[in-house]
Amino acid sequence: MPDLAKIILRNHKIDAVKRFHPWIFSGAIKEMEGEVKEGAIVEVYSDQGEYLATGLYNPSNIAVKILSFQKVSDIAQLFLEKFQNAYQLRQQIGLVDNPKTNCYRLINAEGDGLPSLIVDWYNGTAVIQAYSLALYQRLDLIVDCLKTIYADNLRAVYDKSAAVLAKSAHISENKYLFGQKNGNEVLEFGHRFIIDWEKGQKTGFFLDQRENRAILAQYCQNKRVLNTFSYSGGFSVYAMQAGAALVHSVDSSHGAIDLTEKNIALNNLGEVPHQSYSADVFNFLRDCQEDYDLIVLDPPAFAKSIQSRHQAVMAYKRLNYQAFQKIRPQGIIFTFSCSQVVNEEHFQGAVMAAAIESARPVRILARLSQPADHPTSIYHSEGSYLKGLVLAVD
């Protein structure tokens, strides 16, 4: 590789890199040598000239996201190896050529050694979200990796980075980088879903709830189920398939409600009464007259940064309190948080505060998290964003 720009760290800041944490904060940088611009590949050194890592530079609080802790001679080769490793892991965990599930996360950012990159696989279409210019500038490389791995099974590659990167990178459109719009139906544990990667949220579907939906199904028989923040109706479809007595889905987005209705129709679940409500969940819980045996609370990330953490914790408390007020005795609540900055302890604290206020006996039956196709590096606890509790409320 041509000579790369160098970033020299302050002496007392090298320990985190030596412990394989993949981020270098701007305050850790002592000096920079060479032309270091947004998106550049840089080498990171100690003050004594010891090589530490190679990463991608972004002029922000997290200045470097590390790609490798070993010298890199060929960046295309490094990307390909990472894609191959990621694919191999999905094979190992049974998600490749699986007749019942043909959608999964192929690249989970730091968890697959490619910070700021998400690639989700939907039965022949790969949907990319690059969260930094460095990755955005390397989309061709990413498409090449996908072609090598999937060969003829790859029908299309859709770039959805504009949705997350538009402001900083001056890009305005999401587009197909390979192939074109094609069938968008997937299977998840045998349930059918239409994925709208073009207009839907994130890459189109919340793949991270796959296993939690299957766990929910175990609790649903003959139950009156309320699925809040339902998006495309994932939990609702599983609940209905599992023999719920009734399912209500609530989401503030009309698009989400449309998707929910389509997905329910697709699975021929006509026998179970279902009703969708396009409403704010907080208002719905306050005003509705129904009572439920099982409530799912899966809100969007209430905190996007550490500054909003306290407010987010208060919002989790309020939401869970409303569900504790509503749920029947011997009821079950599946409650989630996907805010990265709200850790398990904060989240459980918020739920406990809500339980105290409701004065109801509450037991924890299970702790839930993200599935194996959303791996996290053990050195990067920030990667474990999804947490959930299954609660019995008497």
Among 45, 87, 197, 229, binds ligand SAH (CB under 6 A): 229
Under the binding rule (CB under 6 A), the answer on residue 238 touching ligand SAH is no
State the CB neighbour count (10 A cutoff) for residue 280: 13
Under the binding rule (CB under 6 A), the answer on residue 206 touching ligand SAH is yes
Least Å distance, CB 388 to ligand SAH, is 11
Nearer to ligand SAH, 46 or 252 (CB): 252
| Angle, CA 329 vertex, CA 327 and CA 331 arms, to 5° | 60
For residue 47, with 0-12 CB atoms within 10 Å meaning exposed, 13-18 middle and 19 or more buried, which class applies? middle
Q: Would you state the structure tokens that stand for residue 388, as one six-digit string?
A: 């959930």
Nearer to ligand SAH, 78 or 225 (CB): 225
Nearer to ligand SAH, 176 or 282 (CB): 282
Q: How many residues sit in the footprint of ligand SAH (CB under 6 A)?
A: 19
**Could you give phi then psi for residue 325, rounded to 5 degrees?**
-65, -35
Task: Estimate the crossing angle of helix 210-217 against helix 234-241, to 10 degrees.
Answer: 30
Under the binding rule (CB under 6 A), the answer on residue 294 touching ligand SAH is no
Nearer to ligand SAH, 184 or 377 (CB): 184
How far is Cα 25 from Cα 252, in angstroms, rounded to an integer? 37
Under the binding rule (CB under 6 A), the answer on residue 197 touching ligand SAH is no
Least Å distance, CB 306 to ligand SAH, is 21
Under the binding rule (CB under 6 A), the answer on residue 256 touching ligand SAH is yes
Under the binding rule (CB under 6 A), the answer on residue 276 touching ligand SAH is no
Under the binding rule (CB under 6 A), the answer on residue 260 touching ligand SAH is no
Least Å distance, CB 354 to ligand SAH, is 17
Under the binding rule (CB under 6 A), the answer on residue 94 touching ligand SAH is no
For residue 133, with 0-12 CB atoms within 10 Å meaning exposed, 13-18 middle and 19 or more buried, which class applies? buried
* Residues 6 or more apart whose Cβ sits within 8 Å of residue 230: 236, 249, 250, 251, 256, 257, 260, 276, 296, 298
Under the binding rule (CB under 6 A), the answer on residue 9 touching ligand SAH is no
Nearer to ligand SAH, 112 or 251 (CB): 251
Under the binding rule (CB under 6 A), the answer on residue 304 touching ligand SAH is no
Alpha-carbon torsion angle 381, 382, 384, 387, nearest 10: 110
Nearer to ligand SAH, 130 or 250 (CB): 250
Nearer to ligand SAH, 134 or 240 (CB): 240
How far is Cα 101 from Cα 182, in angstroms, rounded to an integer? 18
Strand partners, 334: 296, 390
Nearer to ligand SAH, 286 or 363 (CB): 286
Under the binding rule (CB under 6 A), the answer on residue 52 touching ligand SAH is no
Under the binding rule (CB under 6 A), the answer on residue 174 touching ligand SAH is no
Applying CB under 6 A, the span of 117-125, 159-167, 262-270, 298-306 interacting with ligand SAH comes to: 298-306
How far is Cα 269 from Cα 245, in angstroms, rounded to an integer? 12
* Residues 6 or more apart whose Cβ sits within 8 Å of residue 240: 247, 264, 267, 269, 272, 274
How far is Cα 142 from Cα 88, in angstroms, rounded to an integer? 17
| C-alpha atoms less than 13 angstroms from C-alpha of 178 in its C-beta half-sphere | 22
Among 243, 300, 329, 361, binds ligand SAH (CB under 6 A): 300
Least Å distance, CB 201 to ligand SAH, is 6
How far is Cα 179 from Cα 152, in angstroms, rounded to an integer? 11
Among 298, 319, 337, 358, binds ligand SAH (CB under 6 A): 298
Under the binding rule (CB under 6 A), the answer on residue 122 touching ligand SAH is no
* Residues 6 or more apart whose Cβ sits within 8 Å of residue 305: 341
Under the binding rule (CB under 6 A), the answer on residue 385 touching ligand SAH is no
Binding residues for ligand SAH, per CB under 6 A?
Answer: 201, 206, 209, 229-232, 234-235, 250-253, 256, 280-281, 298-300
